[in-house]
Structure 1
């Protein structure tokens, strides 16, 4: 999947944020405010509870409901972590990890 960097996908969402992972192959998220960037190995999302980084292999955007803030990601889910609320710091952290 091509990386999306130009303009983040931003949309309205409800204040609730939930994550359901099914067999490490499907991740269903609610309360997503925006998708900042994504590619086959990593998604960076802003949720109602802060910035969330999802890492894995062959990741694809399966569903996007901008009215409700629902997202489904398909692929092999390897890790997820909440990062600093400042998206610049989150990207800096990702890059610093790559070059260590």
Structure 2
């Protein structure tokens, strides 16, 4: 792999996007890990920090860890990011909820 290809791979892994279609289909790239989920809330670790997705009848449709892609279906009510210095607090809070 030459320098240009290596740089392209690194940039691809760092990209993060959120695409919502009619508040019913959500496609998220740049996902590092799915920490927890149920039919009302997902906690995702992305390359841009933790992302909380809240809604109704949420279902994971696709999970591709290699590409960092997650697809969710259901009615989306809220998307919120947790700042870097609040990540451990959020992770601890949500892990208590989902025990």
TM-score under structure 1 length normalisation: 0.75
Please state if 1:54 is matched with 2:53.
Answer: yes
In structure 1, runs of 5+ residues without a counterpart are 1-12, 96-100
Answer yes or no: is the 8 Å Cα contact 2:36–2:94 preserved in 1. Answer: no
Is the radius of gyration larger for structure 1 or structure 2?
2
Alignment correspondent of 2:90: 90
In structure 2, runs of 5+ residues without a counterpart are 1-11
Runs of 4+ aligned structure 1 residues displaced above 6 Å come to none
CA–CA distance in structure 1, aligned partners of residues 92 and 82 of structure 2: 11
User: Which structure dedicates a bigger proportion of its chain to helix?
Assistant: 2
Greater shift, 86-95 or 62-71, is seen at 86-95
CA–CA distance in structure 2, aligned partners of residues 91 and 36 of structure 1: 8
TM-score under structure 2 length normalisation: 0.76
Aligned residues: 84
SS at match of 2:89: helix
